[in-house]
Amino acid sequence: MNLTILAIESSCDETSASVLKNSNVLSNVISSQLFHKEYGGIVPELASRAHIKSIDTIVSKAFSGAKTDKSEVNLVAATQGPGLIGSLLVGYNYARSFSIAMRKPFAAINHIESHLFSCFIGNEEVEFPFIALVVSGGHTILFHVKGYDDHSVLGKTLDDAAGEAFDKGAKMLGLEYPGGPLIDELAKTGNENYHKFPVSSLKDSIYDFSFSGIKTSLLYFLRKEFGAGAAGTLPLNDICASYQRAVVSSLVGKTMLAAKELGITSIAVSGGVSANSKLRSEFMKFTNEGYEIYFPQKIYSTDNAAMIGYTAYLKYRNSPVKRTGKDLFENAFARFEY
Ligand code: KG4
Ligand code: ZN
């Protein structure tokens, strides 16, 4: 089978388009809306408007980067959800219109599921089963993945996502949005034993996460130790390292607990927070115990269209819809709501 895929992702503040030849990414253009920094978070209405302005240019760049003409496309894919509704509508309708105009099949792809498969981009086959931890700005979910269309949720965050814990913690420390990468950078030269931030272990739901308490504990710690208005004088590197350690130990601890209890030795960690260097190094320690740990390449950690196209490729090839000889229609694969 030879598929040329156009994929579009616009669920949040990145407009992205990618062209793939089967599982190979030929181009992956990402335009990040940096202006949200001014507001300390994403403004949904401004995000949708910016997607509208840039989408045509981004798609053209994806075609020229891939040295491919739009007439060669034989599968179109877009993020169906979850995400900001106004932002999703822009990319989804653009891709859907393209598929109707060109009379090509269309795959509506679940954003979380595409993060999960992003660890394997470029591979023709994915080996099952594996445990998947998807950690982004909006989600923290632990999956047991048994097949291309077969997975179950083991646990998820009961309040904030891990990325949110990083971003909100960073805001309290006077750092810009998004704070995750900045905490990661500052923590590299900090002492992680400087302060012990507690993370709830949720003994009654062992695979669920909770990150709202750590934010509060950072707030009280800052107030007690440094008082109001101390932003310029904080031992930032040490605080970042200690805070990061607490978030990471909860993510790694629960994922490895699930792997051990289910007897699964492959673990895939994806989503924006999977770019975190401490998270990566802590997980990699388990390779000494016979575990295989998969991360996406850093460029595929945060939101991108290549992961949407790759997931569409896997689904198209392995889909029961296709096996019955029918075209792929919207919603065919968007069965999973998280
Ligand atoms: O997957 P993503 O690009 O968008 C969502 O679907 O949410 O994830 C963005 C999140 C943000 O919270 C950002 O702070 C976090 O990923 N992030 C990181 C790092 N890089 C991005 N968090 C910690 N360390 C990083 N290096
Ligand atoms: Zn994402």
Under DSSP, is residue 24 helix (H, G, I), strand (E, B) or coil? Answer: strand
User: pLDDT by residue (tens digit) across 139-177?
Assistant: 999 999 999 988 999 999 999 999 999 999 999 999 998
For residue range 250-271, list pLDDT tens digits in order: 999 999 999 999 999 999 999 9
Which residue reads 């350690």 in tokens? 245
Where does 55-149 show beta strands of DSSP type E?
A: 75-81, 106-110, 130-135, 140-147
pLDDT at position 336 is 45
What are the start-end ranges of the E strands in 33-139?
Answer: 75-81, 106-110, 130-135
Distance from CA of residue 280 to its chain's centroid? 15
The structure tokens listed for 53 are 């302005």
The bridge status of strand 14-21 relative to strand 4-9 is antiparallel
Query: Secondary structure of the chain: what % helix, strand, coil (to 5)?
Result: 45, 20, 35
pLDDT of residue 230: 61
| Alpha helices (H) along 129-188 | 162-172, 180-187
CB atoms within 10 A of CB 257: 16
- Locate the ligand 1 atom nearest the alpha carbon of residue 178 and give its number: 14
Question: Could you list which residues have their CB under 5 Å from ion ligand 2?
Answer: 136, 303
Q: Cα(101) to centroid of ligand 2, in Å?
A: 28
Choose the residue to mutate in 166, 185, 247, 298 for probing ligand 1, maximizing ligand atoms within 8 Å of C-beta.
Answer: 166
Let me know: does 282 contact 252? Beta carbons within 8 Å: yes
Question: To test ligand 1's pocket by mutation, which of 34, 302, 304 has the most ligand atoms within 8 angstroms of CB?
Answer: 302
Q: Which residues contact 223 (CB under 8 A, 6 or more apart)?
A: none
pLDDT band at 323 (very low <50, low <70, confident <90, very high): low
CB of 81 closer than 6 angstroms to any ligand 1 atom: no
> What's the CA-to-centroid distance between 16 and ligand 1, angstroms?
16
Question: 184: Cβ below 6 Å to ligand 1?
Answer: yes
Among 10, 109, 115, 136, the mutation site with the greatest number of ligand 1 atoms within 8 A of its Cβ is 136
Helices (H) and strands (E) in the chain, counts: 10, 10
- CA angle at 52 for the pair 66 and 167, rounded to the nearest 5°: 90
Asked whether residue 212 carries a pLDDT value surpassing 70, the answer given is yes
CA nearest 29: which of 277, 308, 333, 327?
Answer: 308
The sign of the dihedral angle between the CA atoms of 250, 251, 254, 260 is negative
Does residue 87 have its Cβ closer than 6 Å to ligand 1?
A: no
Neighbours of 9 (CB within 10 A): 31
R_g over Cα of the chain: 20
* Distance from chain centroid for Cα 100: 29
**Does residue 83's CB lie within 6 angstroms of at least one atom of ligand 1?**
no
Nearest CA to ligand 1 atom 11: 137
Q: What is the pLDDT of residue 32?
A: 85
Check residue 34 and report its DSSP letter. Answer: G
User: Residue 206, Cβ neighbours under 10 Å: how many?
Assistant: 14
CA-wise closest residue to 336 among 45, 191, 200, 134: 134
Predicted structure pTM score = 0.92
Q: Per-residue pLDDT tens for 280-316? A: 999 999 999 999 999 999 999 999 999 999 999 998 8
**Residue-wise pLDDT tens digits, 85-132:** 999 999 999 999 999 899 888 888 999 999 999 999 999 999 999 999
Ligand nearest to the CA of 271: 1
